[in-house]
Amino acid sequence: MKILNYLLIILLLIMSPDIVDDNHVSKNVKVLDLNGYHIITIKKNKMDFSVSEGVGKDFDFYVNSNFFTAERKPTCGVVIDGKTKNRQISGGGSFIVKNNKPNIVFNKVSNVEYLSQTHVWVIKNKNINDRMLNMNHAKKKVCRLLIGKNKSGEITIVHSNKGNGVTMRELTNYALNNGVVDAFILDSGPSVEVFVKDGSYVYDFKSVNDKQKTIVGIPKPVIYITGNFK
């Protein structure tokens, strides 16, 4: 049964209709479709970021974040509105909002408004985490997703497109070659969801859409990094 479900997931990833891959650049955000990947860069000081349990139409931006268990409990740290929902671990990568400023950090932090963490950091000060990238699970080719920042401190999302299954190293190298200086991997495969609404422009990517998730029994992500343009 597990093998059958895995094959169904792979089939859905291949057959799912993709969104129109149009580039978009404004004062708020830059969305680029390049060589089988999308790069979304939120311009500095243009968004109020947060972390949320679930998402709705009230956000201009969201991306799924924490890995989670079969019981739908997020792994690693989660802080929402200054309240700890799940404890941080040592050695992971975190998206934080502290004093209303977003950042990517690799150590435990306190006194933050928001935090979302995974154990899979891949780029730190332009150096890649070879130990992580050499692990067997990192070598599987799936739809992958990371969050990071560039040298200007702008929050950047990079994901592979449907039909472009990549290893963790391929995604990491692509991000590094396109200006990302710090980054960690977010829950990937059938969990990938990225949404941006900037005026009349809408970017809505799901590696497996909600209807297909229901058919196969794939759970929705539990924690999201969210935001609204100022």
The per-residue pLDDT for 209 is 86
The per-residue pLDDT for 56 is 80
The per-residue pLDDT for 215 is 87
Q: How far apart are CA 14 and CA 207, in angstroms?
A: 9
Mean pLDDT for each 10-residue chunk of the chain (230 residues)? 49 48 89 94 98 92 96 96 97 96 97 98 98 96 97 98 92 98 96 96 92 88 97
The per-residue pLDDT for 8 is 53
The per-residue pLDDT for 151 is 97
Q: Partners of 227 in the beta sheet?
A: 49, 61
Confirm if 74 and 80 have CB atoms less than 8 A apart. no
Q: How far apart are CA 149 and CA 176, in angstroms?
A: 10
201: left (phi over 0), alpha (psi -120 to 50) or beta: beta
**pTM for this structure?**
0.91
Q: How far apart are CA 89 and CA 116, in angstroms?
A: 11
Q: How far apart are CA 28 and CA 96, in angstroms?
A: 20
Q: How far apart are CA 163 and CA 154, in angstroms?
A: 28
Residues 99-114, buried b or exposed e (16+ Cβ, 10 A)? eeebbbbbeebeebbb
Give, in degrees to the nearest 5, the angle at Cα 5 between 75 and 147.
35
The per-residue pLDDT for 121 is 98
Q: How far apart are CA 37 and CA 31, in angstroms?
A: 11
Supply the DSSP string of 30-47, one letter for each residue: EEEEETTEEEEEEPTTSE
The per-residue pLDDT for 2 is 47
The per-residue pLDDT for 213 is 86
Q: How far apart are CA 114 and CA 85, in angstroms?
A: 10
Q: Which of 57, 49, 61 minimizes the C-alpha distance to 97?
A: 49
The per-residue pLDDT for 9 is 52
The per-residue pLDDT for 181 is 98
